[in-house]
Amino acid sequence: MDRIKLHDKFFRPFIPNDRIESAIDAVAEKVNLDFEGCEDIPVVICTLTGAIMFTSELLKRLRFQCEVSCIKLSSYQGTRSTGTVLTMLGLTGDVKGRRVIICEDIVDTGNTILALQEMLLAQGAAEVRICTLLLKPDVYDKDVKLDYVAMEIPNAFIVGFGLDYDELGRQYKDIYVLDQ
């Protein structure tokens, strides 16, 4: 793992892929305990584009039948959250009467996850569970319960493993942090 440059910023190694994979193993086991042997078929929703790698890895580890759907929301511009959640691509499947597992790459302020949960419940989801690769507990200030958290991290700007800086850096298998 070497320092990388994306646009005008440098990022240094932060979380190696083996730690990410171990965290996904552990969180998948928790999801499996709750859903294995279920009669219904839950819907796993990938929040594009950041959660695509996490969702892919999680799906490989699930031991129950599920459908996969995607949605694209955005609240970031550059390295900062705008505080406003925009729907860029609507939900690609029906959730009415279904149990839903949201797969999120990172939860920081919680604005996006709260908006998505409200949207899914308004569309008739029977239950909404939240599964995130990363949580920034120092800035998460919502009352919404996060059901599955793979890792907690400090409030720092990161890229890699699906996360980006102005659309660059998603392809790295490790996670990098902004090098101030």
Residue 14 makes CB contacts below 8 A (sequence gap 6+) with 153, 156, 158, 160, 174, 175, 176, 177
149, β-bridge pairs: 132
Is residue 108 annotated as a catalytic residue, yes or no? yes
The alpha carbon dihedral of 76, 82, 88, 91 has a sign of positive
Choosing from 108, 138, 143, 164, the catalytic residue is: 108
Rounded CA gap, 146 and 24, in Å? 15
Which residues are the active-site residues? Answer: 108
